[in-house]
Amino acid sequence: MVNGRGAEGQGSVGARFPRPETSEMNTKEMMVTEKKRTGILGVGKYLPEKVLTNADLEKMVDTSDEWIVTRTGIKERRIAAKDEAASDMAVKAARCALNNAGLKPEDIDLIIVATITPDMFFPSTACQVQHKLGIKKVPAFDISVACSGFIYGLAIADQFIKGGMYKRALVIASEKLSAITDWEDRSTCILFGDGAGAAVLSQVDKGGILGVNLGADGDKGDLLQLPAGGSRMPASKKTVEDKLHTIKMEGNTLFKHAVKIMADAALAVANPLGLKGDDIDLIIPHQANLRILNALAKRMGVDPAKKVYLNIEKYGNMSAASSAVALCEAVEEGRIKRGDTILMDAFGGGLTWGALIIKW
């Protein structure tokens, strides 16, 4: 697994995971044998240089640092340069992950990029990453499941590797949300930031992915969407004037669904494995909102100070990149050590969700 610094004294509150309240999620937990597990060989990240603080936002919209921190836990976020696209950030994160894995680009035979802010509709961001890394002819494709994208990407790569079709996969999550944010809408512009994270996956002898739970509920897709720019509402003067090419979100309703979705997804993958609170060394959730994450920890019966990794105050919500960057930083900071059991958990527009348990 990743050669990160070791963590000392991971705490536990000894709580058992409760059962999910309902069985609405029609997903399958994919359990694998000890002989053929997929593990992570290296992780990497890239964050743009520009920092946008809450004080900066106070000059742009009617808001305050206290209001933002109280409601979201966010203090600042990163903003990509005008000439910096999703593929540019993805390549930098990928090179970092490859270096940490001790591999070269030519060692990769599958590229998956999770993004809702691609450079363009086509060619895919993954194909552009392939070209920029100098990797020849290997399959490369994007997935669009919003904030759940990194976990979906890991799950897809796991299946390809476990099935023997490919040996080493590069999974990247890269988002330039600043490009689709309405900077006059104080309810959304305070939330989002830019960045990228990556992981190199391969078959491992010990540890690896123990289980995955994925799902979606398209009935609630209108809670978080980008209305214009696709085939249903092509770009026009009116769509631009009406700011329909920016993120639209029903925050209060989404909040209520988010806590239950993330908790149920986590329980759906943990319970079949017989795991309880004591068995999870660290939870790495999608960094959407601090109140959501604290509510998730309470629902699962774990101490957030000991069991939940947070970096939302520094970066805000980076959609799919949030989980990828958080995983990388948890390794860098020594919060994850070899043999730890890690739970990754996310929800996003769609609505989509994903939870994954991996032994490091």
Domains, the chain, ranges and CATH? 40-205 (3.40.47.10), 209-359 (3.40.47.10)
- Report which of residues 21 and 166 the model is more confident about: 166
Query: Is the model's pLDDT at 149 over the cut of 50?
Result: yes
Set 100, 189, 213, 286: catalytic member: 286
Note the pLDDT tens digit of each residue in 280-293. Answer: 999 999 999 999 99
Does the pLDDT at position 18 exceed 80?
no
pLDDT of residue 24 exceeding 60, the answer is: no
% of the chain at pLDDT higher than 70: 90
Taking the alpha carbons at both ends of the chain, their separation in whole angstroms is: 6
For residues 307 and 27, the model is more confident at: 307
In the predicted structure, residue 30 carries a pLDDT above the cut 90: no
Helix axes 86-101, 320-332, angle to 10 degrees: 30
pLDDT range class, residue 300, cuts 50, 70, 90? confident
Q: Give the long-range contacts of residues 84-87, CB within 8 A, separation 24 or more.
A: 84/48, 84/176, 85/119, 85/176, 86/113, 86/115, 86/117, 86/118, 86/119, 86/125, 86/174, 86/175, 86/176, 86/196, 87/119, 87/125, 87/128, 87/129, 87/132, 87/174
Query: What pLDDT is stored for residue 276 in this prediction?
Result: 85
Residue 257 annotated in active site = no
Predicted confidence at residue 32, as pLDDT, reads 43
pLDDT at 16 over 60: no
Catalytic site residue 147? yes
| Active-site residue identified among 100, 213, 271, 317 | 317
Q: Which residue has better confidence, 17 or 193?
A: 193
pLDDT above 60: residue 269:
yes
pLDDT greater than 60 at residue 329: yes
pLDDT above 90 covers a percentage of the chain that reads 84
Question: pLDDT band at residue 35, thresholds of 50, 70 and 90?
Answer: low
CA distances, 304 to each of 10, 39, 161, 298 (Å): 12, 26, 33, 8
Task: With a cut of 50, say whether residue 2 has pLDDT above it.
Answer: no
H/E element, 3: none
Beta strands 110-114 and 140-143: pairing type?
Answer: parallel
Q: Does residue 205 have a pLDDT over 90?
A: yes
Quick check: is 317 catalytic?
A: yes
Query: Residue 182 pLDDT > 60, yes or no?
Result: yes
Give the pLDDT of residue 14. 34
User: Per-residue pLDDT for 303 more than 50?
Assistant: yes
For 122-141, write each residue's pLDDT tens digit. Answer: 999 999 999 999 999 999 99
pLDDT of 242 higher than 90: yes
pLDDT at position 20 over 60: no
| Given 147, 213, 271, 328, the catalytic residue | 147
What integer is the mean pLDDT of 318-339?
A: 97
Residue 13 has a pLDDT of 33
- CB count within 10 Å of CB 229 equals 15
